[in-house]
Structure 1
Amino acid sequence: MGQRLCFAEGFENLKILDMVQMQHLTEVVIEDGAMVGIQKLYVRACRVLESLPRGIENLVNLQELHLSHVSDQLVERIRGEEGVDRWSVKHIPAIKHHFRTEDGSFYVSLSS
């Protein structure tokens, strides 16, 4: 329910993390050595989160990142080679942005 979520050491057996509807979340921090085995990360309906988790570059086993109904600012930070945080997600093979418009629900790949 708070604004900040911090993952310190541990969670080495965690394979999938799904962060859903954290309405007040503005910052996520993943410290080096935390969640070393994570393979899939879902960020869904965290609309005030404007940037990816700090430390996501340390999740070397992360295979999929799914962003669903998140802020435009977050997506723009990793979109294309010019995104300011693109460097931190280059190691992730599949990055998908799921969104809804008045024409329906869609997803686009943000993978390099």
Structure 2
Amino acid sequence: MADLQYFQPTRVADMVGEENVSEMLSGYLTSLDESLSQLRSYWQEGDIQHVRMTSHRMKSSARFIGADELAEFLQQIETDSLNETDNICLQTTRLSVVEQWCHELTQEIHHYLDSVG
């Protein structure tokens, strides 16, 4: 398998065992899709509190699968959403970056699952 850019299946295997990696990644994809949809809605509504909570949850899940760069970006969103004077939801390019990153990650996970399944 070519080098993976967006996640580390070995990290998942270390946590749940090699035999459970595909199942965990499939579950992650479902969760990621739901979380991204929620994040998008909260962002568009300007609901900073829920943006913070959703980015926190997404960050934790991203770390679990070894998507460290995505996790760092989500950490920054979570941290920046604590600043009451700045409405992070006005920075729509940040949402676009998360969406693009999640799209690339999803494609890579699907490719990985197809290659091992």
Q: Kindly indicate which of the two structures has a greater share of residues assigned to strand.
A: 1
TM-score, length basis structure 2? 0.23
TM-score by length of 1: 0.24
Structure possessing the higher relative contact order (Cα contacts under 8 Å, 6 or more residues apart): 2
Larger Rg: 2
